[in-house]
Amino acid sequence: MSEETKYLKLARAAREEENSEDAKKFYDMVRTDDPENGEAKFFYQYYSMYEGKNGELANRFVNLVKVLDPSVKFISQSNESESEKLAVIKAIVDVFTPLTWSNIRYMNNLTVKVGNTTEKVLPGSDFTLVQKSGVTGLYDLGDAIVKYFSRSPEAMKLALTPWKEGVFLQQKWCYILKNFNKSPEEYTAKIQKIEPSYTMPQKANWCANKPYDR
């Protein structure tokens, strides 16, 4: 067993156990040995996102979005079997798809001490950055899966999950994403090529002032 294979197994085991510290450590070892290991590239950046101060979360999330396409590309080019590749893609989809929403909820609940009271702090531009980057990442992840696994019907189905979430959130956050360079109509059409029965969710009927609960 090569050192890279050993570290990859340890990283996966730590990820399954939700041991983020060891997972990040072992994925770092994998990517040091092989900078083009797509699984390590994604998950190292994913675990790195949660380090540092709260104010760094938005930019770390943007960095995670940037590695989505190259990570999927490297996974498609790896020597693993097709089923192993798809298992890694599914793991990335399962981790990334709910991430934008959970980050927004997290940031929306940040607090600061003011005198003897604790008040909520909306991170302002960082809040919007996570929303926009998150929807971009969801669309990009689905696009990358289709681009690099175009011959796999299973992969096409995996692409639907982030695409659908992107459409849902863009319709939900239309007041933020109204001038966005990707449209829910565009991605609804992509989804319907694979799943003809899909219907685009209704746009929020107010789309003006503030986010609301899902």
Residue pair 176/132 in contact by the 8 Å Cβ criterion: yes
Amino acid 178: pLDDT: 67
Amino acid 120: pLDDT: 66
- Rg (the chain; Cα; Å): 18
Give one word for 87, left, alpha or beta, with left for phi > 0 and alpha for psi -120 to 50. Answer: alpha
Each residue's pLDDT expressed in tens, for the chain with a length of 214 residues? 577 789 999 999 999 999 999 999 999 999 999 999 999 999 999 999 887 677 788 889 999 999 999 999 999 999 999 999 999 999 999 999 999 988 888 877 777 676 787 766 656 678 888 888 999 999 999 999 999 999 999 999 999 999 999 999 988 887 666 678 888 999 999 999 999 999 999 887 766 554 434 3
Amino acid 214: pLDDT: 38
Q: Give the per-residue SS3 of 162-187.
A: HHHHHHHHHHHCHHHHCCCCCCHHHH
Amino acid 213: pLDDT: 41
Closest CA to 169 of 147, 142, 139: 139
Closest CA to 38 of 78, 91, 79: 78
pTM of structure: 0.88
List, in sequence order, every residue forming a beta bridge with 117; answer none if it has no partner: 114
Q: How far apart are CA 131 and CA 180, in angstroms?
A: 11
CA atoms within 13 A on the CB side of 153: 1
